[in-house]
């Protein structure tokens, strides 16, 4: 941390800055963690059936010796946006397990843990009304002991352990081979730097597990979710390789935006860019985020939700009200149809980025042409007004259609400042 900020900052100022970096944005405003953590919610959705199965097939020893209260802890809860859905299905699964094994259902006590600077006010103000548990806060560093010995029945931690408590000392030491020159990133070529971070992560995970081992009851369960890499990625041999058809590399993508074909082929093509760009277009159309933990089961991914709505002819029911107000039906249908083709699961059937750009330009030109013709009709009512039309204001709309036959050698232009859809 000191290598990033600078060596001459007063110790108290450094501590204050470090605390600020370690705390997520509080509140529930547009830049808060509460409103910008849908990616983590997607990971919770994926692991839900695994956790439910483990609860159903295990916990037998805990059930046999259970007292009047079942204790659950969420280590790294933040402001609760993704914690609440997880704790809800965990308590439901445990309750179902107890119904078949215990004559009496105990009370559930959930302990929400995070750093002392965490925004617990937002968390408790957002507690679900239909929750099955009592809630309490346990502020503190989860790399050490937080709870009494043998008191915890079920532990849960999602997307928290990867956040290190400090920059590895070797990375900040100018005399160390792992010194990273004050940079906030590292490449695979800097193996010493990568190893320093990996060792730091290993030490902190070990501290976390040692503390939980003391706190957990015999036969208790601990569910830990951390970011990982697919098994088909060989971290020892994988490198960037480019040929005429595709790029193979380690892709750092975001759930909801990443081309589904990549997970099957491990190949990133130009059509993968088309898919990701289309997700952004759908976000503009619907006003929704790419991943939502509160969306119905069919639409955990915005792309899936959008395609399902298109198939059911429900497009205008999922659009952002601003789009409905400002955009014409023809423009909306045009952009939606283009987005649908760009989201095709078969990358070969998607248009190229150049074709996408040309079609968006065509949709925009049709809109401008409609506005121009309306203005001309309005102006013609004034007999004293003379209309002058420049050649560059005349457009040929005959070639614009949903299925365009494009000449790849034809020049085109796309104004980067022109929005896909007008915003208020």
**pLDDT tens digits for range 106-126:** 999 999 999 999 999 999 999
Q: What is the band of 146 on the pLDDT scale with cuts at 50, 70, 90?
A: very high
For the cut 60, the answer to whether the pLDDT of residue 321 exceeds it is: yes
Give residue 419's pLDDT.
Answer: 37
- For the question of whether the overall pTM of this predicted structure is more than 0.75, the answer is no
Asked if 136 contacts 111 with a C-beta cutoff of 8 angstroms, the reply is yes
Closest of 98, 99, 96, 77 to residue 86, by C-alpha? 77
What pLDDT does residue 37 have? Answer: 63
pLDDT band at 143 (very low <50, low <70, confident <90, very high): very high
Residue 305 pLDDT class (50, 70, 90 cuts)? confident
- Which of 21-25, 36-40, 225-229, 418-422 holds the top average pLDDT? 225-229
- 264 pLDDT band, cuts 50/70/90, is low
Average pLDDT over residues 210-232: 86
d(CA 84, CA 82): 6
The predicted structure's pLDDT at residue 404 = 34
For residue 256, is pLDDT > 60? yes
Least confident of 28-42, 67-81, 399-413: 399-413
- Identify the residue with better confidence: 242 or 134: 134
Least reliable range by pLDDT among 19-23, 137-141, 332-336: 19-23
Q: Is the pLDDT of residue 175 over 70?
A: yes
Beta pairing class for 216-225 and 107-114: unpaired
Comparing CA positions, the residue from 402, 258, 265 lying closest to residue 336 is 402
> What CA–CA distance (Å, rounded) separates 166 from 151?
29
Which domains are present in the chain?
A: 2-225 (3.40.50.150), 247-381 (1.10.510.10)
- The whole-angstrom separation of Cα 204 and Cα 141 is 11
* pLDDT grade for 191, boundaries at 50, 70 and 90: confident
Residue 403: the pLDDT is 33
Share of the chain above pLDDT 70, in %: 65
Model confidence at 154, in pLDDT bands (50, 70, 90)? very high
Cα–Cα nearest to 90, from 162, 163, 153: 153
The pLDDT of residue 208 is 95
Name the band, by pLDDT with cuts 50, 70 and 90, for residue 60: confident
With beta carbons less than 8 A apart as the criterion, state whether 361 and 296 touch: no
Q: Is the pLDDT of residue 234 over 70?
A: no
Mean pLDDT (the chain, rounded): 75
Q: What secondary structure letter does DSSP report for 40?
A: H
Residue 333: per-residue pLDDT:
92
Burial class (CB in 10 A: 0-12, 13-18, 19+), 365: middle
Taking residue 259's Cβ as centre, other Cβ atoms within 10 Å add up to 24
Buried residues in 131-142 as b, exposed as e (16+ CB within 10 A): ebbebeebebbb
State the CB neighbour count (10 A cutoff) for residue 96: 13
Most confident of 38-47, 156-165, 177-186: 156-165
Give me the phi and psi of 415, to 5 degrees please.
-70, 115
Separation of alpha carbons 159 and 228, rounded Å: 10
Percent of the chain with pLDDT over 90: 36
pLDDT score of 293:
52
Choice between 141 and 288, residue whose per-residue pLDDT is larger:
141
Q: Which stretch of 186-190, 241-245, 334-338 has the lowest confidence by average pLDDT?
A: 241-245
Q: In the predicted model, is pLDDT for residue 156 greater than 90?
A: yes
Chain-centre distance of CA 142, in angstroms?
24
The partner residues of 75 in beta bridges, in order of sequence, read 113
Cα 356 to the center of its chain, rounded Å = 25
* Residue 372 binned pLDDT confidence (cut-offs 50, 70, 90): very low
Q: Where are the alpha helices (DSSP H) in 312-352?
A: 321-326, 329-342
**Residue 216's pLDDT band (cuts 50, 70, 90):** very high
């Amino acid at each position: 941390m000191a290598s990033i900020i600078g060596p001459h900052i007063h110790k108290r100022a450094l501590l204050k800055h470090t605390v600020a970096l370690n705390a997520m944005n509080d509140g529930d405003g547009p830049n808060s963690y509460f409103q910008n953590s849908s990616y983590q919610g997607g990971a919770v959705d994926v692991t839900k059936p695994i956790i439910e199965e483990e609860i159903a097939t295990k916990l037998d020893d805990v059930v046999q010796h259970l007292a009047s209260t079942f204790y659950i802890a969420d280590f790294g809860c933040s402001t609760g946006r993704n914690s609440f859905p997880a704790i809800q299905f965990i308590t439901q699964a445990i309750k179902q397990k107890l119904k078949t094994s215990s004559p009496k259902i105990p009370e559930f006590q959930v302990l929400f843990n995070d750093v002392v600077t965490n925004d617990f006010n937002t968390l408790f103000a957002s507690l679900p009304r239909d929750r099955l548990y009592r809630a309490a806060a346990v502020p503190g560093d989860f790399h050490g002991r937080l709870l009494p010995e043998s008191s915890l029945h079920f532990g849960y931690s999602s997307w928290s352990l990867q956040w290190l408590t400090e920059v590895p000392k070797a990375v900040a030491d100018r005399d160390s081979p792992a010194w990273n020159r004050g940079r906030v990133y590292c490449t695979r070529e800097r193996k010493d730097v990568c190893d320093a971070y990996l060792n730091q992560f290993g030490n902190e995970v070990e501290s976390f597990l040692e503390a939980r081992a003391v706190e957990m009851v015999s036969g208790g369960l601990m569910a830990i979710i951390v970011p990982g890499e697919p098994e088909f990625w060989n971290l020892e041999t994988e490198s960037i390789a480019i040929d005429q058809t595709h790029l193979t590399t380690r892709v750092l993508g975001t759930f909801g935006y990443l081309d589904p074909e990549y997970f099957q082929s491990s190949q990133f093509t130009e059509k993968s860019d088309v898919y990701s760009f289309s997700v952004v277009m759908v976000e503009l159309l619907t006003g929704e985020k790419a991943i939502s933990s509160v969306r119905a089961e069919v639409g955990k991914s915005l792309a899936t939700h959008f395609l399902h709505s298109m198939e059911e002819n429900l497009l205008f029911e999922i659009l952002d009200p601003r789009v409905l107000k400002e955009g014409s039906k023809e423009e909306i249908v045009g952009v939606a149809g283009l987005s649908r083709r760009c989201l095709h699961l078969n990358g070969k059937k998607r248009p190229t980025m150049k074709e996408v750009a040309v079609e968006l330009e065509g949709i925009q030109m049709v809109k401008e042409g409609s506005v121009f013709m309306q203005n001309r009709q309005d102006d013609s009512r004034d007999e004293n007004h003379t209309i002058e039309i420049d050649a560059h204001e005349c457009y040929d709309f005959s070639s614009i259609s949903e299925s365009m036959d494009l000449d790849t050698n034809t020049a085109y232009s796309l104004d980067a400042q022109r929005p896909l859809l007008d915003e208020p």
